[in-house]
A and B are shown apart, each in its own frame.
Chain A
Amino acid sequence: MKEAIENLLQHFGEAVTAWSQVSPDEVRFTICPDKWQEVAQYLRDDPQWQMDYPADLTVWDTGQEFGVYLRLWSSVYNHNVLVLTTLSRERPVIASLAQLYPGVNWHEREMYDMYGVIFDGHPNLKRILLPDDWEGFPFRKDYVAEPSGDPLRGPQPVN
């Protein structure tokens, strides 16, 4: 594991802004958003990592910016990697991993649905959980909605 981490840090240099080994089989990397796809591809294809199982992908809103979280597992080595990055509120765009890992396809759609994060290169980026004509992105911290008066339509966003 130590050697694999060193190789990755050497390969990506400054794109990795922080990293920590939380336990013998879990590493967390914080990277720049423009290297998102390259890091994921490296982790999948490199023979020392072989992260072939996409466990989870999600987004959260701190109030100032969006954080993106990707968790991978390797069925060969049984180690876990968390890849974290941040996106700005004005331009929440990041590369899509749907071609690399088909399993994150629906996760990315859900994050678009809830936060409005655009996944560049996603084959089918449309709403998945909310009704298709819903306006606004409810999970954002600045989403305010008030009842619309019609029980068959949910609350409508105010701003």
Chain B
Amino acid sequence: MGVKERLEKGLIKVPGGTILIAKISDLMAWARKSSLWSLTFGLSCCAIEMMATAASRYDLDRFGMFFRATPRQADVMIVAGWVSVKMAPFIKRLYEQMPEPKYVIAMGGCASAGGPYRDSITIVKGVDQFVPVDVYVYGCPPRPENLILGILKLQERIREEHLAEKNGLPKPVREPIIIPETGATG
């Protein structure tokens, strides 16, 4: 049951108007998932597909997501492109500069596992070597629909997150979501 349905159950009509009774964690989860701001972090070819996803046809703004240049205002970092040894310290620093709660989407084969450059000496085999990843979106480059599916699944997960999880209480281990190249995970 979605958070909207849960909220609708809490609507009570009283003389003079309507009252909504809801849990704060539901409201916060709904607000957080509907307004994920992502860091403009396109490295290479996948960045062009990310731009295309944000542009006219596959609009990302309807999911509440638009790009902020500074990590201090970003919730999610979409690593789009291959990560080289020279660039890795910068990615790590940008990740650490993002305030909690933060998420990482590894877009494309290169950010997930090194991609076609597995025998290159300057490429890090996947951004998960030094940054925890929440969603892997495969493809070279992934279609905009795949990236949108990854974002929607991340939004589903955020919707179910509890405030307590993000307040220093023991966090459950999060399994990453994997979006294969040819369609939904079901």
Contacts and interface: CB of A to CB of B under 8 A. Distances in A.
A13 interface: no
A151 B123 CA distance: 9
Interface stretch (B83-91, B155-163, B176-184): B83-91
Report the contact-size class of chain B (Cβ under 8 Å from the partner). Answer: 10 to 19
A151 B130 contact: yes
Given A130-B86, A131-B85, A151 B121 contact: no
A131 B90 CA distance: 13
A152 B86 CA distance: 8
B121 A152 contact: no
A92 interface: no
A112 to B, nearest CB: 17
Contacts of A155: 121
B122 A130 contact: yes
Residue from B89, B121, B125, B129 whose CB has the most chain A CB atoms within 10 Å: B121
A88 B122 CA distance: 27
B124 interface: yes
B86 A151 contact: no
B43 to A, nearest CB: 15
Contact of B125 (A145, A151, A153): A151
Contacts of A154: 85, 121-122
B90 to A, nearest CB: 11
Contacts of A67: none
Contacts of A153: 85
B79 to A, nearest CB: 14
A103 interface: no
A90 B121 CA distance: 25
Contacts of B124: 151-152
Contacts of B88: 151-152
A47 B122 CA distance: 46
Interface of B: 85-86, 88-89, 92, 121-122, 124-125, 129-130
Chain A to chain B: the 3 pairs with minimum beta-carbon distance, closest first? A151-B129, A154-B85, A131-B86
Interface of A: 130-131, 138, 145, 151-155
